[in-house]
Amino acid sequence: MATSAYFHIPFCAHICHYCDFNKVFAAGQPIDDYLQAMDKEMEWTAAEFGSHLKTLFIGGGTPTVLEPVQLGRLLESIHKHFQFHPQTAEFTVEANPDGLTKEKLAILRDAGVNRLSIGVQAFDDELLQAIGRTHRRGDAERAVAMAREAGFENISLDLMYGLPGQTLEQFLADLETAFSLHVPHLSAYSLIIEPKTIFYNEWRNGRLRLPGEEAEAVMYEAAMERTVAHGYQQYEISNYAFPGFESQHNLVYWNNEEYYGIGAGAHSYIDGVRRANIGPIRHYIEKVERGEWPHRDVHRLTFREQMEEEMFLGLRKTEGVSKERFRQKFGREMSDMFGEAIRREIENGRLEETATHVRLTKRGKLLGNEVFAAFLGEM
């Protein structure tokens, strides 16, 4: 039985050049019908799998693109179908800096939301324009100030590096600005060129000027060093937090634990089964209105796949994968199942082993995807 739930709002006022998440322009969309379909899926999910939650996360898209009445309606549905303790549950909502208003912040707080994840990406106005963001530096700074005035203490900022034309100096300046805002959590992600994005089309046509892998690695190393110097702890490849402010919801994913996914394109992992919902908005609505689960794909993981996922998800965490947890979960020794891959990656300088864990080295963090791939098809 899962104790975490993700709620997907696929609507945006503007589509960013790098984004490949399931999203559409909000204008002209059947948002009210979509929220009604989500309410029905929540009802079915709670009845089938349980309703008590410890973490909740509303993501997108852009959840704060909803009108205040619609936002209130979504939160009302969540409260109607799920139970969670307002003092102990982590309830996160993603927000764009230019989509937050005092009214929406008050609605979120009144509904028990206690964590905001604000998609800043950069503080350099030219870079923001280049990647298709509609906010500017001042909007981001005002959003953090407004959130604090509304009573939010647990605030996370997303930053990106490896952006087109971005220099190390620009990224360092972005980090310093983020530090000056004294938020307790930072995420710093490298740009990945994904198919079906504006950047992908520009890259294929040779029009996208990227810093290159070496420059990107230098930016990543700078992020690791500067965050630690400012009191943050790196607890996952791309995430840094003051002690006690780690994202509990995201740790559910990296710990390979169970969660519900509600909404178009959302994913669930329950009882060893991964389910992916239909992506197109109207198809999702129609299927729910017919009284059918909106699943596009249902896959029961083999025992082997479950162990592989335990490794490559867990290795994202700075602490790595616990040998004892692996033993308790699967009734096998990690060394028996993945000994050769572990030895090989230790020899390559990308993994290290302690008495209790296997974890990435600094070099391994720079080459994470290559390390993860070493555990696929190993047995």
Tens digits of residue pLDDT in 194-208: 787 777 777 777 777
At which residue do the structure tokens 């100030």 appear? 145
* CATH superfamily assigned to domain 4-254: Aldolase class I (3.20.20.70)
Pairing of strands 260-262, 4-9: parallel
Handedness of CA 346, 316, 173, 230 (dihedral sign): negative
Closest CA to 262 of 53, 67, 30: 53
- Residue ranges in 50-167 assigned as alpha helix (H): 68-81, 102-110, 125-130, 137-149
Stretch(es) of the chain classified as CATH 1.10.10: 317-373
Q: How far is CA 363 from CA 62, 175, 349, 358, in A?
A: 35, 22, 7, 14
57 Cα distance to chain centroid: 9
Encoded tokens for 296: 């596009």
Q: Which residues of 68-97 are buried (b: 16+ CB within 10 A; e: fewer)?
A: eebbbbbbebbeebbebeeeebbbbbbbbb
Contact yes or no for 344/310 (Cβ under 8 A): no
Helix, strand, coil % (nearest 5) of the chain? 45, 20, 35
pLDDT at 362 over 70: yes
**What pLDDT is recorded for position 188?**
97
Provide the 8-state DSSP code for 353: E
pLDDT band at 332 (very low <50, low <70, confident <90, very high): very high
**What pLDDT is recorded for position 201?**
77
**What pLDDT is recorded for position 1?**
76
Percentage, residues of the chain above pLDDT 90: 85
Whole-structure pTM value: 0.95
Task: Provide CATH code, domain 317-373.
Answer: 1.10.10
**What pLDDT is recorded for position 379?**
40
Contact yes or no for 24/71 (Cβ under 8 A): no
pLDDT at 18 over 70: no
Q: How far is CA 199 from CA 13, 162, 191, 205, 207, in A?
A: 18, 13, 10, 10, 9
Distance CA 253, CA 259 (A): 8
Pairing of strands 154-161, 185-190: parallel
Closest CA to 147 of 175, 183, 112: 183
The lowest-confidence range among 15-19, 233-237, 343-347 is 15-19
pLDDT at 19 over 70: no
Mean pLDDT of the chain: 94
Cis peptide, bond prior to residue 61, ω within 30 of zero: yes
Give the 3-state secondary structure of residue 317. Answer: strand
| pLDDT tens digits, one per residue of 65-91 | 999 999 999 999 999 999 999 889 999
Of 140 and 19, the one with more pLDDT? 140
pLDDT at 4 over 60: yes
Mean pLDDT of 224-233: 98
Provide the 8-state DSSP code for 2: -
Stretch(es) of the chain classified as CATH 3.20.20.70: 4-254
Residue 54, classified by CB atoms within 10 Å of its CB into exposed (0-12), middle (13-18) or buried (19+), is middle
pLDDT at 229 over 70: yes
Give the 3-state secondary structure of residue 355. Answer: coil
Of 214 and 197, the one with more pLDDT? 214
Handedness of CA 219, 224, 225, 226 (dihedral sign): positive
pLDDT at 210 over 90: no
Contact yes or no for 161/191 (Cβ under 8 A): yes
Residues 6+ apart with CB under 8 A from 268: 2, 259, 260, 261, 274, 275, 277
Residues, the chain, total?
Answer: 379
Give the 3-state secondary structure of residue 352. Answer: strand
**What pLDDT is recorded for position 21?**
61
Encoded tokens for 102: 């005092």
Mean pLDDT of 47-75: 96
pLDDT at 378 over 60: no
Contact yes or no for 294/288 (Cβ under 8 A): yes
Mean pLDDT of 178-205: 86
**In what helix (H) or strand (E) does residue 260 lie, and over which residues does it extend?**
strand 260-262
pLDDT at 107 over 50: yes
pLDDT band at 360 (very low <50, low <70, confident <90, very high): very high
Radius of gyration of the chain (CA): 21
pLDDT at 342 over 80: yes
pLDDT at 236 over 70: yes
Phi and psi of 60, rounded to 5°?
-160, -155
pLDDT at 9 over 60: yes
